[in-house]
């Protein structure tokens, strides 16, 4: 198993986001198993021809999402992302539900808003 990242300059997607998305997808799909040690920021930056700050930004976002964890001298490892991602999603969903209720939206209107947001985020059409 090897980390494989392809940066495509023609997509209009920022390189850090491409790195973040590809590592996240590989971790969630099990291509990168829990405990897999990622390259150092500098090492991956050199390998991809990116600035170290670009890779560091991707790693920070991945850590914030619970996909990876940094253990000092032990390196950066793929975390048990499923449970962290599930907890974060549940917490965010609860906050959303409370907010739309306070705003006076009906359950149907709140669900419609979520469906629209998900379609936009995942690039799906109606």
**What's the longest Cα–Cα distance across the chain?**
51
pLDDT in tens, 7-51: 999 999 999 999 999 999 998 888 888 889 999 999 999 999 999
Indicate the pLDDT class of residue 124, thresholds 50, 70 and 90. Answer: low
pLDDT in tens, 64-105: 888 899 888 889 999 875 666 676 777 788 889 999 999 999
- H helices of the chain, where? 15-28, 41-48, 52-64, 81-103, 107-122
Q: Indicate the length of the chain as a whole number.
A: 126
Whole-structure pTM over 0.85, yes or no? Answer: no
- The residue to which tokens 């390196």 are assigned: 75
Let me know: does 67 contact 81? Beta carbons within 8 Å.
yes
Measured CA to CA, the distance from residue 90 to residue 103 in angstroms comes to: 20
């Amino acid at each position: 198993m090897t980390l494989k990242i392809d940066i495509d300059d023609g997509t209009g997607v920022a390189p850090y986001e491409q790195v973040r998305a590809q590592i996240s997808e590989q971790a969630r799909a099990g291509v990168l198993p829990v405990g897999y040690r990622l390259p150092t920021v500098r090492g991956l930056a050199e390998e991809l021809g990116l600035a170290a700050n670009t890779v560091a930004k991707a790693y920070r976002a991945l850590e914030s999402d619970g996909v990876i964890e940094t253990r000092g001298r032990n390196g950066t490892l793929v975390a048990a992302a499923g449970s962290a991602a599930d907890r974060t999603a549940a917490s965010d969903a609860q906050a959303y539900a409370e907010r739309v209720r306070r705003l006076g939206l009906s359950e149907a209107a709140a669900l419609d808003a979520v469906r629209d947001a998900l379609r936009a985020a995942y690039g799906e059409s109606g």
